[in-house]
Copies of this chain bind each other. A is one copy, B any other.
Amino acid sequence: MAISDKHIHILKIAEDLFADKGFDGATVRDIADAAGVNLAMISYYFGSKEKLMESLFTERMSAMKLKVEALIVNPSMSPYEKVETLIDDYVNRVMEKQSFYKIMLCEQVINKNVIVLKLLKELKLSYAKLISELIAEGQRLKIFKKDIDVMLMLNTMTGTATQFIISKEYYKEFNNYKKMPAAEFDVLIIAKLSSHIKNLFKAILGYEQ
Q: Does A105 contact B (CB under 8 A)?
A: yes
How many residues of chain A are within 8 Å of chain B by beta carbon?
A: 47
B110 touches A170 (CB 8 A): no
Q: Which residues of B contact A174 (CB under 8 A)?
A: 125, 128, 150-151
Known contacts A110-B21, A112-B25, A163-B159: does B151 contact A170 (CB below 8 Å)? yes
A170 touches B102 (CB 8 A): no
Which residue among A155, A164, A173 has the maximum number of chain B CB atoms within 10 Å of its CB?
Answer: A155
Number of copies: 2
Q: Does A193 contact B (CB under 8 A)?
A: yes
B25 touches A167 (CB 8 A): no
* Selected interface stretch from A4-12, A36-44, A196-204: A196-204
Q: Does A96 contact B (CB under 8 A)?
A: no
Question: For window 98-141 of chain A, which residues contact chain B by CB distance below 8 Å?
Answer: 102, 105-106, 108-112, 121, 124-125, 128
Q: Which residue of the partner chain, among B108, B109, B111, B167, contacts A155 with CB atoms under 8 Å?
A: B167
Q: Which residues of B contact A156 (CB under 8 A)?
A: 156, 159-160, 163, 196, 200
B24 touches A124 (CB 8 A): no
